[in-house]
Structure 1
Amino acid sequence: MWRSLCAVLVALLACLFGLLTFLVDPWITDPPRHHQVDVRTATDYAVTADQTGKLPVLLLMTEAVNAAMVTHALLVADAARPFFQVHLASFGGAYAKLLEESGFAYHVLSPVWTEEQTAAIYAVDQFESFSSPYTKEVLQEQISSSLQLYSKIAPSAVVAFFVLSASISARIARLPLFVDMSMTRETSTDPRAIAVSMPDSGVVAKLGLRTPLSHMASWLMKRLNFITPAFEAVAREWNITGIHLVWDLMEGDYTVISDIPSWAGVDAAALPPQVTYVGPLYGKLKKDIPKEVLQLRERATSEKQPLVWFAMGSSGQPPLVLATLRELLKQQPKWFIVAPVHALLAKLKINASDASAKAEAGLDSPQLYIPPELLPSQKVEPLCDLALTHGGQGTVHTSMCSGVPFVGVGMMPEQDLNIRLAVNKGMAIQAMKFDPPSQIAGLMHDLAHSPEMRIAASKIREECQEYTGEYAFVELIQQKLAGK
């Protein structure tokens, strides 16, 4: 009996240790602050920048499965237009149309992500699956396709917006690699930052487990490498070393942080020389405000009701989005809501452009507008009184720079951190994706009746004007290419 129990216990411990070693490298005692990649690939693959044109070529590579990454790329492309011949590239995705219609030269690389692979990317990103779509075969084809493009257009530099294979392909071609990041690895893995990302009302905080759990999470996050084996294997084939942790895939020769140091609690003077903060980057689509939004604003003002911005990004979980939107309509039937969640509802087979489909889904309300396409959030959100968002960095910055208080429901740890920064500024309320939708909708009521948060949000809006974001990004690229 006891022998059997011991055998089961040993087996469980072995499984637990096996999972641990799959997720992290437990043998690293002192993880690096910033990676150093060593490239020994034959210079046959090196690309010499095209000097024949009037302007140097700049290649912006973005994951078009993610709306935030596409909007970041388009922001930088517009800012770079006077100084570079700008080219855009992606491996396809739901938001590739924005790249195609941008007016810039656009290249579709292979292999194009399938819907299944896109779902896997989000599942891994949200720690809901450990089945990575980045197989060795996928990476080899991505790198081959990228190298062909580099050779064709001869860029002076590559800028990657979450294109992880660029960490290898740009190095093979000996091209300077600039990477857009939301925060440094030190900020993301700091126990204090992780601790404050946990809501004050949560079970963890009530049981006094914030400190031990945050240190445990910090230890794990500093050593994450569960998707890197395929990258390491491919990199070795090209005689490249130094790519081992997840963070190594997300940093470049120059890592650009789209945030404000004081907001993140960072001492800019203490940063590694490869890391630069440029200020907020958030979507600024070149579109007009739909008449439906203006009509809702007019009605909300006339009826003295709030207008809500309900934006859950491209990483929002469709079932949660649907349930929370239903609850908000149920609890606040007089409120007016602009909800750019058409693509998320489509994943549930709900066509939000069809009145009968909306009614069947419990979303039949003249107070609710679900646009069929992305909206120019930088124009629409300032018209709103409060917001409910998923906490993506660009979405949080849009709220902060629009002066709109919000309830944030993070889908992943990074988004919880983004939300907490706004909470600390006094302009947001934090919820968790595991909270009941009725509770999340109830927090919107609390927010609507908090004049203090509206005042705090207005002050934060003024701070945003001091940073230039995409223009600082382009200036940094120019400086580094000039050897400054």
Structure 2
Amino acid sequence: MATVVFCPVTFNLAETTRMIQVAQALDSSHRVVFMGYETDFVDLIRDAGFDYRACEPAWTRAERDQAIAFDQGRSFRSPFTSAMVGARVEVERRMIREFGAAAVVTGSNLTSFISARAEGVPLFYPVPFPLTRPQVAQAKHLGLVGGRGWIARAADRVATSVFRWIYNSAPLAPRAFTSVAKANGVPPLRTVSALLLADRNLITEMPWEMDGFELPDGFELVGPIFARLESPMPAVVAELAAAPEPLVYLGLGSSADRRLALDAARSLGTLPINVVAPIRHYLEPGDEVPANVHVTDLLPAHRLGGLVDAAVLHGGQGTVQTACATGVPFVGMGLQPEQTWHVRSCERRGNAIAVSPKHVRRPEFLDAVRRVLDDPEIRAAADDVREAYRGADGAAASARLIERAVALKG
């Protein structure tokens, strides 16, 4: 038996659920310990039956928003101070030693990249391909500039070249990581690419999404990992599925905001459809949505296949992969380059339509929703993608790689 410590960013829904799936796929002989700093999705960890250790220091709302922007490549400013990074590395090193961890699994908890190395423990990083070192090195377009015309594409190609140099060469990693790394006997992390590089980087994509790319040493394709929440399905979903009107799922994960949630709900409310919308965590008391939009808490979305006719998604990898695996065609509104990349990959595959989130109140958004509901070619493509997903299990593949490394270490 070995102990594996999981360090997700617990205010990131997709990341927390991705870690839960990998932990559940480990052999039951191993001990799993989760740790984290914020409380948003900790209940999901505990509900899955895992030991969770709450740690400090935690971030304020403004600090976590800035951290998400930094992680997603939308900003090179970060909330990481030397005091905070140093304190978290100390906590994590102590946790690794206390439990005798044989491996650490992280999402985008950046201090793990120092603490695991300082303790000499292999670090595993299940991660979407966009904005990883090989993707930035090889992609001609990163989706940094919106739009579809030749001017937008030319501008995006220039922006991609600039970003590539910044990502790989500019010493823009927060200074705290350089100083704290040195203090812990770890080579300084000066660039963004060095900051986001683990010992084993596990790419959570389907094979066709990697066409034209090569993975260097330290990167391995494991396949899709998405949430399988064990919470009960609200009765309203079955009631709406049985109604004559089409049923649309509105899923915005944890990286959208209140304004987008309300705009999307109100736009969808103008159509002759029903909507099930797990967006309660975005809304405030007094917020109103149309009567045909039914707001809920988080749903076990992997069980929506056959119940919903289409989806509107923010484009996060977890929501996209859930729609693909259940054969649900969707409209995707990528909020940042990684999400745009996944939505457009599906659009090329034929099971989705990409729309800018800026257009959610415009006719083109509603036109896209009508198309994914009515176009038989889009629905056929969604069925084909669902078949391709059968048997794909990135969580199990990740677990086997972790177990092999643990066995070698032992």
TM-score surpassing 0.5? yes
Letter matched to residue 310 of structure 2: L
Q: 1:440 aligns with which of 365, 373, 398?
A: 365
Is the alpha carbon distance of 1:120 and 1:93 closer, same or farther for their aligned partners in structure 2, counting shifts above 3 Å? farther
Q: Taking every aligned residue pair, what percent have the same amino acid on both sides?
A: 27
SS of the equivalent of 1:240 reads coil
Asked if 1:464 is matched to 2:389, the reply is yes
Quote the Cα distance in structure 1 between the aligned partners of 2:311 and 2:212: 27
Counterpart of 2:242 in 1: which secondary structure?
helix
The residue that corresponds to 1:307 in the other structure is 247
Per-residue deviation, 1:429 = 1.0
1:186 to 126, 129, 134: 134
Q: Is the 8 A contact 1:126 1:411 kept in 2?
A: no
- Residue of structure 2 aligned with 1:273, choices 202, 217, 228: 217
1:15 aligned residue = none
* 1:211-226 matches, cutoff 5 A: 211-223=157-169, 226=172
Cα offsets for 1:333-381 (capped at 9, x unmatched)? x201111111122xxxx23xxxxx34xx3x030x22211x311110125
Alpha-carbon displacement from aligned partner over 1:36-87 (angstroms, at most 9, x marks no partner): xxxxxxxxxxxxxxxxxxx211111111010011101111111114241111
1:327 to 259, 267, 270: 267
| TM-superposed deviation, 1:434 | 2.9
Q: Please tell me the residue identity of whatever aligns with 1:57.
A: T
Q: Give the Cα separation in 1 of the matches to 2:399 and 2:361.
A: 41
Q: Give SS of 1:483's match.
A: helix
Whole-angstrom CA distance in 1 between matches of 2:42 and 2:170: 30
* Distance (whole Å) between structure 1 residues aligned to residue 360 and residue 307 of structure 2: 28
Listed one character per residue, the Cα deviations across residues 229-278 of structure 1 (whole Å, up to 9, x for unaligned) are 211121112232152222222221111111123223255xx422311111
* The structure with more radius of gyration: 1
Matched residue, 1:114: 60
Cα distance in 1 for partners of 2:298, 2:352 equals 24
Segments of 5+ residues of structure 1 without an aligned counterpart are 1-54, 352-356
Which of 129, 151, 159 is the aligned partner of 2:105?
A: 159
TM-score computed with the length of structure 1 as normaliser = 0.78
Q: TM-score scaled to structure 2, two decimals?
A: 0.92
Determine which of 219, 238, 247 is the counterpart of 1:294: 238
* Counterpart AA for 1:340: P
Q: Which residue number corresponds to residue 343 of structure 1?
A: 281
Structure 2 residue runs without a partner (length 5+)? none
1:376 to 1:397, Cα distance in 2 relative to 1, 3 A? same
Change (3 A) 1:72 1:191: closer
Which of 299, 302, 319 aligns to 1:395? It is 319
In 1, the alpha carbon distance for the partners of 2:382 and 2:406 equals: 38
Contact 2:110 2:196 in 1 (8 A): yes
Q: Secondary structure at the match of 2:88?
A: helix
- Between 1:213-222 and 1:86-95, the stretch displaced more is 213-222
The verdict on how the C-alpha distance between 1:85 and 1:114 changes in structure 2, with shifts beyond 3 A counting, is: same
Query: In structure 1, the residue corresponding to 2:333 is in which secondary structure?
Result: strand
* 1:364 alignment partner AA: P
Do residues 482 (structure 1) and 407 (structure 2) align?
A: yes
Q: Provide the C-alpha distance between the structure 1 equivalents of 2:121 and 2:193, rounded to a whole number of angstroms.
A: 20
Q: Distance in 2 between matches of 1:391 and 1:224?
A: 29
Q: Is the 8 A contact 2:35 2:52 kept in 1?
A: yes
Matches within 5 A, 1:60-459: 60-125=6-71, 130-183=76-129, 184-194=132-142, 199-200=147-148, 204-205=152-153, 209-223=155-169, 226-241=172-187, 243-265=189-211, 270-299=214-243, 303=244, 305-330=245-270, 332=271, 334-345=272-283, 350-351=284-285, 357-358=286-287, 361=288, 363-365=289-291, 367-371=292-296, 373-438=297-362, 439-459=364-384
- What is the CA RMSD across the aligned residues, in angstroms? 2.3
